[in-house]
Amino acid sequence: MAATQATAARKFPEGLRVLAVDDSPVCLMLLEALLRRCKYQPTMTRDAATALRMLRERPGDFDLVISDVHMLDMDGFKLLELIGLEMDLPVIMQSANGELETMMKGVTHGACDYLVKPVSLKDIQNIWQHVWRKRKLDIRNHNGGYNDGGELVGATRTKRKYTRKMRNDGDNYGENKENMDSTLKRQRVVWTPELHRDFVIAVHELGVDRAVPRKILRMMKVDYMTRENIASHLQKYRLYLKRISTQTGMDPDQFPEKWKYMNELDALKNYCENGRYRLTPAIASSSSSNPFARMNSASALATNGFLPTHSVQLKNSQRNMAMGTVGHGGSPGNNPVFQPLQNSSNARKCFPSGPSGSSFANISNGLVLDTDDSGSSYAGMFCKSMWETSNGSPSCHSGNSSANKSNNGVSAPANQFQVQSKFGFSALANQFPVQSNCGFSAPANQYQVQSNGGFSVPANQFPVQSNGEFLAPTNQFPVQYPEVNNQPLVQMNQSSTNHFSTIGNDYQFPDLANCSKYWQPTAPSMFPDLGHNDGTSFRPSQANIANINQLSSFAASSGQEPMFGDELHGQMSPIMSTISLSDFDDQMGSFNIGNDTSPAEMMHDNFSLGSDSNISSSTPTDSSFGSTFPDFHLDSPEMPAQMLNGGDEDGILLPVLDDTVDQQDLFDQLDENNGREKLGSGRCVRKGPFECFF
């Protein structure tokens, strides 16, 4: 495979169609000579307006744009911005000015590279990488699982055909190669000025903060466009707004000034656009304390939030394979730890309609951008699509809540603060840091949430730390759950045993137990007075992965509106691109998240939580929660209020099922929970020491 790729790569850069814009004829001539020497197909123009016209008129005809920064007729940054918004082409900036500030500005505005004049042959020889990277990203997006229906459009395009079979065969590279060899063209939505104008109008009518792709699409009434196209464009547009509001250099034009979006989002979007990661300071700092995570479940496959990498690949052709590493600096393959997780067929049996652990995602925090009330969160869709992809059945209902959607390892964005997800899901925090070390973490409204294991639901006003399995929302009190340890999860569910019982032995999550071993010594206890309740419920030992998986399934299945995979396309693209997934069958590999720590270390010895992860040895007694997150609205100001803990007041449901569980009951219960969502207003799902405080 590597060989064929190399062949393709050797042939590939030839004929690369490059549009070069420079108002200096001398530079242009040099550039042309360089491009020709590299066997590219250059098209030269001396002014930006012409370049833009060519790009608009012949949208499929170029693979890459090289633009000068200083041009008399148009600022190169402006051109860059327009190309980014309309064409989604990689753009390389070049300038005689090599000052750091200018270069940064170029990169900030979405340039994939910045060359300082005189441009050398070496520079030009390497530019194909940007095209390759972008293309690969796109292909992966396709593979990652949305339907063919998600593709566009345009008379000049050749329609790619990806069959489900192809997508599932686990060999993405084969497709890449085929694609690369056959044509350099790729699917692209052409955002003509008219379309963009309509888009802007729609966004403004809806309000920037409330605009979601679906509504925009409805308003634009463009039938050949899909929600994904809109979503992707919206993402860029928001980034653009963000940039122009933070930079005085850009003319805010027709766009509203105010833009409050979080850094993570930006980073993610930048990832989309640039094909590379850029960490915002907030992310960088948080991720550095984010040693790793691992989990067997789909849920556990989540993320270090910010850094989806290419290294996560799941294929059913490999069992027991390492799931890969998420995060910077981690390297896949070093993580021997993975335990057989779960048999997805079992999971399916139990949860025919939800994504069970067999599907998962590596999703970063910045990911789930827009959900509307109808509950089309990307995460959910993502899950669904994965589920569909892997099982061939569209049976997963995505929930109304983003949290649902965030089940399979999806972590949603934090609105203004950092989010850390060490493993599991972390949903978004509206204003404060969220850390989820394992399991799910739902949004925190104003304070930080830390979940070191299990799920964490939104905390409204206080820090929440969950070291155990599930964390329900707290309104006024700090909550800490102790490390995961050696008691069956079922104990958490005492109050709801009629609904849930332990799942079979099929699912084991031994690593969790190990984790606890390390956690305890390394993590300071923030609330030592809570005491050490070893015997109490929060100690899933052989932590049944199934719990988690099923929990995820529940959440996912509690949705109200079936969604399909292709919904995912736009916003999820960064994720999709980083994960190749196929059907995961028997075993999940290890999952390593972290930034600076070496994977092996993280996995085995040093399960130390980030500096801000506090692990308490105390265990709240008999708190059981269900954490299905039926209503999780991302990207909306009132989002946190919607985060729901699917449980209801009698302190339910850890959806741990065994085969004897009557599923109908279970789902009924879930439905019920859904019906009662709006927890944000103060429903508490727990009993025990932390009664409802709302």
Determine, following the binding rule CB under 8 A, whether residue 70 of this chain makes contact with another protein: yes
Nearer to another protein (CB atom), residue 4 or residue 24: 24
Determine, following the binding rule CB under 8 A, whether residue 39 of this chain makes contact with another protein: no
Sequence-distant (≥ 6) Cβ neighbours of residue 159 within 8 angstroms = 151, 187
> Of 1, 6, 49, 96, which one interacts with another protein (CB under 8 A)?
96
Sequence-distant (≥ 6) Cβ neighbours of residue 99 within 8 angstroms = none
Q: Least distance to another protein from the beta carbon of 247, Å?
A: 18
Nearer to another protein (CB atom), residue 34 or residue 490: 34
Determine, following the binding rule CB under 8 A, whether residue 26 of this chain makes contact with another protein: yes
Determine, following the binding rule CB under 8 A, whether residue 49 of this chain makes contact with another protein: no
Determine, following the binding rule CB under 8 A, whether residue 121 of this chain makes contact with another protein: yes
Nearer to another protein (CB atom), residue 8 or residue 30: 30
Residue with tokens 């949903």: 427
Q: Least distance to another protein from the beta carbon of 99, Å?
A: 10
Determine, following the binding rule CB under 8 A, whether residue 72 of this chain makes contact with another protein: yes
> Of 13, 42, 48, 68, which one interacts with another protein (CB under 8 A)?
68
Coil, helix or strand for 362? coil
Report DSSP state, residue 602.
I
Nearer to another protein (CB atom), residue 120 or residue 156: 120
Stretch that binds another protein, among 22-30, 163-171, 294-302, 600-608 (CB under 8 A): 22-30
3-state secondary structure 200-214: HHHHHHHCCCCCCHH
- Tell how strand 41-45 and strand 17-21 pair up: parallel
Q: Least distance to another protein from the beta carbon of 110, Å?
A: 22
Determine, following the binding rule CB under 8 A, whether residue 95 of this chain makes contact with another protein: yes
Q: Least distance to another protein from the beta carbon of 118, Å?
A: 4
Q: Least distance to another protein from the beta carbon of 23, Å?
A: 7
Determine, following the binding rule CB under 8 A, whether residue 164 of this chain makes contact with another protein: no
Determine, following the binding rule CB under 8 A, whether residue 25 of this chain makes contact with another protein: yes
> Which of 253, 673, 656, 620 is CA-nearest to residue 471?
620
Q: Is 341 exposed, middle or buried (0-12, 13-18, 19+ CB in 10 A)?
A: buried
Q: Rounded to whole angstroms, what are the CA distances from 42 to 47, 60, 130, 206?
A: 15, 14, 16, 42
Question: H helices of 523-678, where?
Answer: 545-557, 569-578, 599-600, 639-642, 663-675
Stretch that binds another protein, among 95-103, 194-202, 274-282, 606-614 (CB under 8 A): 95-103
Q: Is 312 exposed, middle or buried (0-12, 13-18, 19+ CB in 10 A)?
A: buried
Compute the Cα dihedral for 413, 554, 629, 684 and give only its sign.
Answer: negative
Sequence-distant (≥ 6) Cβ neighbours of residue 400 within 8 angstroms = 373, 374, 375, 558, 559, 560, 561, 630, 631, 674, 677
Determine, following the binding rule CB under 8 A, whether residue 631 of this chain makes contact with another protein: no
Determine, following the binding rule CB under 8 A, whether residue 33 of this chain makes contact with another protein: yes
Determine, following the binding rule CB under 8 A, whether residue 15 of this chain makes contact with another protein: no
Determine, following the binding rule CB under 8 A, whether residue 7 of this chain makes contact with another protein: no
Nearer to another protein (CB atom), residue 6 or residue 26: 26
Other C-beta atoms closer than 10 Å to the C-beta of 98 total 11
Q: Which strands sit side by side in the sheet containing 464-466, from one edge to the other?
A: 419-421, 434-436, 449-451, 464-466, 479-481
Stretch that binds another protein, among 58-66, 111-119, 190-198, 226-234 (CB under 8 A): 111-119
Q: Least distance to another protein from the beta carbon of 114, Å?
A: 14
Determine, following the binding rule CB under 8 A, whether residue 34 of this chain makes contact with another protein: yes
- Long-range contacts at 246-250 (CB < 8 A, ≥ 24 apart): 247/105, 247/108, 249/77, 249/105, 250/77, 250/78, 250/81, 250/109
Q: Least distance to another protein from the beta carbon of 27, Å?
A: 5
Q: Least distance to another protein from the beta carbon of 305, Å?
A: 41
Q: Least distance to another protein from the beta carbon of 244, Å?
A: 20
Determine, following the binding rule CB under 8 A, whether residue 431 of this chain makes contact with another protein: no
Question: H helices of 326-423, where?
Answer: 344-350, 378-391, 402-405
> Which of 505, 521, 471 is CA-nearest to residue 626?
471
> Of 1, 6, 29, 49, which one interacts with another protein (CB under 8 A)?
29
CA atoms within a 13 Å half-sphere pointing along the CA-CB vector of 677: 31
Stretch that binds another protein, among 4-12, 117-125, 266-274, 298-306 (CB under 8 A): 117-125
Nearer to another protein (CB atom), residue 42 or residue 458: 42
Report angle CA 325, 525, 519 to the nearest 5 degrees: 30
Determine, following the binding rule CB under 8 A, whether residue 118 of this chain makes contact with another protein: yes
> Of 27, 429, 442, 568, which one interacts with another protein (CB under 8 A)?
27
- The token duo for 215 is 């509504």
String of contacts with another protein for each residue 274-293, x by CB under 8 A? --------------------
Q: Least distance to another protein from the beta carbon of 15, Å?
A: 16
Q: Least distance to another protein from the beta carbon of 54, Å?
A: 22
Coil, helix or strand for 450? strand
Q: Least distance to another protein from the beta carbon of 67, Å?
A: 13
Determine, following the binding rule CB under 8 A, whether residue 97 of this chain makes contact with another protein: yes
- The token duo for 187 is 């699917």
> Of 105, 117, 134, 539, which one interacts with another protein (CB under 8 A)?
117
> Of 6, 11, 14, 36, which one interacts with another protein (CB under 8 A)?
36
Q: Least distance to another protein from the beta carbon of 22, Å?
A: 8
Determine, following the binding rule CB under 8 A, whether residue 23 of this chain makes contact with another protein: yes
Report angle CA 471, 401, 640 to the nearest 5 degrees: 60
Residues written for the chain = 694
Are residues 424 and 644 in contact, defined by beta-carbon separation less than 8 angstroms?
no
Q: Least distance to another protein from the beta carbon of 69, Å?
A: 9
Determine, following the binding rule CB under 8 A, whether residue 30 of this chain makes contact with another protein: yes
Determine, following the binding rule CB under 8 A, whether residue 119 of this chain makes contact with another protein: yes
Cα 29 → chain centroid? 43
Q: Kindly state the number of chain residues that form the binding site for another protein, as judged by CB under 8 A.
A: 23
- Tell how strand 579-581 and strand 312-314 pair up: parallel
- Binding site residues, another protein, CB under 8 A: 22-27, 29-30, 33-34, 36-37, 68, 70, 72, 95-97, 117-121
